[in-house]
Amino acid sequence: MGSFTSRTDLTTLTAEMTIDQRGLARSMFEYLSRARDAHGARPATSFQLLSTPGSKFETLTWHDLHCQVTQAANLFRSLGIGETDVVAYILPNSMETIVTLLGGAVAGIVSPVNPLLEASQISAILRETKAKVVVTLKAFPKTDLPQKVAEAVKQAPGVQTVLEVDLVRYLGGLKRVIVPLVRPKNPVSHAAQVLNFQTEMARQPSDKLTFDDVTTDRVAAYFHTGGTTGMPKVAQHRVSGMVYNGWLGAQLLFTKNDVVMCPLPLFHVFAVYPILMSMIASGAHVVFPTPQGYRGEGVFDNLWKLIAQWKSTYLVTVPTALSALMQRPVDADISTLRGAFSGSSPLPLELFKRFENATGVQIVEGYGLTECTCLVSVNPPNGNKKIGSVGLPFPYTDVKILTSDANGERECALDEVGEICVSSPGVFAGHTYTEAPKNQGLFANGTHLRTGDLGRIDVDGYLYITGRAKDLIIRGGHNIDPATIEEALMGHPAVAFVGAIGQPDAHAGELPCAYVELNRDASTTIDTLMSYAAEHIHERAAQPKYIEILGELPKTAVGKVFKPDLRRMAITRVYNAALDGAGIQAKVVVVIEDKKRGLVAKLAKSGVVDDAAVATVLGQFAQGWEWES
């Protein structure tokens, strides 16, 4: 395995590993076959339904996984899935989810869908991807997913077959007998045929494909981005980009001896590419605890014990999960843990320190996008981790920081902020989205994806994210389009203008909030607007946690709401509340725009203040602060 501690190491590694020398697999089936041949009897992946340490689990070896993926691919092909047809899955984590993901990519194009979305959003994705086969849960206690998917399929007439996964087989004892008896009925009917996934798969051969594998590079996955508006964007991923992500993991991060604890959902690129694809390339073992991952019952209370049980060497996490985890004591032997990977949203400095103090290992923070088939950059696992940065670009990934001036577009100087633009084997230049109009203007010089993120690169080559040109609100890694909130609140007869932003939050990174300007002579209350938002914003994560009525919203010269001023107001309010709640005699006097750090709160003291206490309180937030000079 290669390793790196600096930009020099990465440059050397890239020079030594030419594209020809990489010898990357040409298809997903070939990729998985190589893992079987190299690691056949070794564990590939494990899943346990419950979070209780020592509870029933299932492990597949690389040979077992290859057999089941072969069966699934053959099943999908028998149901009419060719190399350009789509298998969508709307599933929590399970062994069947992994098998569907890989089998769908072998037979055709696999499309993971977030099971937390509403039925209307799921149906929009099914229609956009032209899905023919849907894999989802059979009715099971404590979930309405089967009913929701049935409603979505009813609105997506292109779906011909629904394959149901029954989780009962993971149960033991009396529960295995009782659950089928109390299984809820599915009242929604649709035109697609409904089959049992496990039963149908068992009818297929496991030793060979029933069709010719396609070894020319092709699109093998569709991933939707966010999905909080009526028609989410769908990104296309080629086999070469999927395998490239795995190659990076094997070259720079994992070996066959690693055990990776991954409580992230398998509809998200983070779990699928940096983790699962890296397992295939390296032969490492990945463990998925509970169908809901971090959202599963008892996961946070039991996670240290699960790490000890599985002798995990790495933990995969996100800042919101870390925040919850740090509220629990380390109550197990986690001496096997060598590191943790965090992504999806900025990691507050205080959280980084608390984790290191509690575990003795450092968090490795990185950066990725759905549109890039995920990986872009990472802090060196074995080298200098610049907290606040998202590290160094990976080999074969070129990051440019671009801005425009009177002479047109140009590349930024060191530490100058501009738009982050990326070219890599994971970027499908010109064809990122399934809808051609959405690719217009998306690329700089026809090669570099415009990410919509603002950032800078320092003298050592480290990438920093300072803001988002797209104004997305990122709540715990969940992308929320502010237009969802603004359009809903604008429907209230008293409302003239709305500006929705993400306010700082110590747990979720950001929470949606809205500032409202009323029509002249109109009146309403905050409680009324909160109730109106709850009724008209169907995406629960997008419902604002705070609404404020202003006499007039700040606006640009052309009448658009000026959101940087709203963010300054939110930072001031949240930080002052946190300081006051901790009994600290200090307050925010102004929020400035720092060229390198983005928005920074400047504080003034109103009494005797312990600087370390301030650092602890405000270190929970991703935005910066400093004392007023």
**Which pLDDT tens digit goes with each residue over 478-506?**
778 787 898 899 899 999 889 999 999 99
Q: Specify whether the CB–CB gap between 334 and 309 falls below 8 A.
A: no
Residue 61 main-chain phi, psi, to 5 deg: -75, 170
User: Could you read off the pLDDT of 99-127 as tens digits, one per residue?
Assistant: 999 999 999 999 999 998 889 889 999 99
> What are the tens digits of pLDDT across the range 447-457?
999 998 889 99
Confidence of residue 318 (pLDDT cuts 50, 70, 90): confident
Three-state secondary structure call for residue 532 = helix
CA dist 388 to 196, 456, 594, Å? Answer: 48, 12, 14
- How buried is residue 243: exposed, middle or buried, by Cβ count under 10 Å (0-12/13-18/19+)? buried
For 603-628, how does the pLDDT look when each residue is reduced to its tens digit (9 = 90+)? 999 999 999 999 999 989 988 899 99
Domain residues of the chain, as ranges?
7-402, 403-468, 477-627
Tokens of 532: 């109106």
Q: Which fold has domain 477-627?
A: GMP Synthetase; Chain A, domain 3 (3.30.300)
Q: Which of 369, 371, 370 is nearest to 430 (CA)?
A: 371
User: What confidence score (pLDDT) does residue 227 get?
Assistant: 40
- pLDDT, residue 171, reads 83
pLDDT above 80 (res 550): yes
The continuous run of DSSP H or E covering 489 comes out as: helix 482-489
The mean pLDDT value for 328-350 works out to 87
75 C-beta neighbours (distance < 10 Å), count: 27
Tokens of 99: 């098998």
Residue 62 · residue 68 · CB < 8 Å: no
Average of per-residue pLDDT across 379-384? 84
For residues 150 and 587, give the distance between their C-alpha atoms in angstroms, rounded to a whole number.
52
Side by side, which strands form the sheet with 624-627? 586-594, 598-605, 624-627
The predicted-structure confidence for 41-77, as pLDDT tens digits, reads as follows 999 999 999 999 999 999 999 999 999 999 999 999 9
Q: What are the pLDDT digits (tens) for 405-426?
A: 778 899 999 999 899 999 999 9
Helix (H) or strand (E) holding 46: strand 43-48
Same fold, 7-402 and 477-627: no
pTM of the model: 0.83
3 state DSSP class of 62: helix
Q: Which CATH class is domain 403-468?
A: mainly beta
| Burial class, 324, CB count within 10 angstroms (exposed 0-12 / middle 13-18 / buried 19+) | middle
Interval 430-472: pLDDT, tens: 999 999 999 999 999 999 999 988 899 999 999 998 777 667 7
As a whole-number percent, the residues of the chain with pLDDT over 70 amount to 93
What residues contact 614, with CB distance under 8 A and at least 6 apart?
579, 584, 586, 603, 625
Residue 84: name the closest of 130, 49, 117 by CA.
130
Beta-bridge partner residues of 162: 134, 194
- Tell me the CATH architecture of domain 7-402: 3-Layer(aba) Sandwich (3.40)
H-run or E-run covering 403? strand 398-405
Distances (CA, A) of 502 to 33, 516, 593: 45, 14, 17
Taking all residues of the chain, what is their mean pLDDT, rounded to a whole number? 90
* The dihedral sign for the CA sequence 8, 12, 17, 19: positive
Task: State residue 299 phi and psi, 5-degree precision.
Answer: -65, -45
Nearest residue to 506 (alpha-carbon basis) of 327, 247, 272, 381 = 327
